[in-house]
Amino acid sequence: MYDIVDPKIICTKYQAAFVLKNGLSFFLTFWLGYYGHNIAKNMFTPYNADMASTVAILFTSKVGAEMATNLNRLQGLVLGTVAGQMVYANFGWCTPISLAATLIIFFFWQLLSLFYYYHSTEFGGIFILLAAFGSKMILQECSNVWGENTDSYFAIVAAVVAICVILLVDLVCAPDRASTLANNARKEVLGQMKMAVKDLFDPNVKNTTFHHVPIEAGINQARSLCLEADAEPRVWRTPFRTDLFLQFCDMLTKLRYVLAVLEVSIADSFVEGEPKSEAFQVMMKHSCVSTMKECLIGKIEQLERLSKLLEHEVDGPMEGETAPCLRDEPEMLSLHFTATLEQAVVDAEKIDFSSLEDLQLSVFRDPILKVSLTVSCCRAMLESMTDMQHAFLNY
């Protein structure tokens, strides 16, 4: 049974930021609609709610990817034309101050538009159209004749101002960049994976917990944020390592699949919260199982060190423990964890399950099956992490 309102979700940092940004945009446009006519009579009509209503619609607007190219062109053309007309309407007078202001606005208009054109792969097309059509409207012949604007003009101005307010508020109130959030999600999933392995092989933890469920949600979030980070303007930063990050997410997905098999199989009735099977509890009393756990956790910690490369955003080698010299560290190049795991497998095959002989065990609770399954899962997880380690070292 799910609650309609979950405080754990609605009180998170990012939900609060969502409410703050959208609420601020909404009330700012209401304020502009109410008082804007007193500030600029040729731009706003009295008590205009068009801007606020536009913001309300944009809260939940979704557009299909197949229309992205044409919509980007439309956005650049309309925004450039209307914004340029807005500048001309306020500074197009034939006075020295107005002409100077027009030139200054034109300079910064071109500077910002071309800057983002060369630094944004996704929105570059919009900004080059802003530069072209905005300049065309700004650099018109000056006039001291007051023009009369129609209701349709006011409606377009209201829409453009609403979009500009949303962009400004998002820029100021954004909690973090998408690349930072993606790396935070990655680190959180690694922490969950380490905790899952510890709980799985801890003899003091008697009941099972299915960690693979929240881990799946974390991986999906990290992958989604990675794609957003790939589209964000990097400015002076190096391009986001999208391919390597997605490869890391694929590795986490493989680990999650294997972990799910292991967690479900050791549960006595294959249900979360049930005690660990008796065969597995016997296994956990032997040091070889503890060795398997240490191998997996040690390899996860290696990946934690190496994955800091995904946070490196400047040219040149990364300083610290994830510098290129890591390639020369014996710990990274050796097969220490693999060799240790294989020795633990040999010892696991010698575990005595005679204490379970009097019990009526089904094939699903057979101790040999539990040993084989545990060994296979540990090998698969270690192999996936080793492949990812090589991907980092060869990057």
Q: How do residues 105-157 score in pLDDT, each as one tens digit? A: 999 999 988 888 887 766 777 888 888 878 888 888 888 776 556 565 676 77
What is the model's pLDDT at position 327? Answer: 53
Q: Which residue has the higher pLDDT, 71 or 296?
A: 296
Q: Give the DSSP H/E element, type plus range, for residue 391.
A: helix 367-393
Averaged confidence pLDDT in the chain: 80
DSSP reduced 3-state for 270? coil
User: Encoding tokens for residue 65?
Assistant: 């990817």
Rounded (10°) angle between helices 124-138 and 96-119: 170
* pTM score of the predicted model: 0.68
**pLDDT over 50 at 46, yes or no:** yes
pLDDT grade, residue 336 (50/70/90)?
Answer: confident
What is the model's pLDDT at position 196? Answer: 92
Backbone torsions φ then ψ of 240, nearest 5 degrees: -65, 135
Per-residue pLDDT averaged across 364-376, rounded?
79
Q: What is the residue extent of each domain of the chain?
A: 7-173, 178-312+322-393
Q: Which residue has the higher pLDDT, 296 or 13?
A: 296
pLDDT grade, residue 257 (50/70/90)?
Answer: very high
Each residue of 209-229: pLDDT tens digit? 888 888 999 999 999 889 888
| Contact of 337 with 298, CB cutoff 8 Å | yes
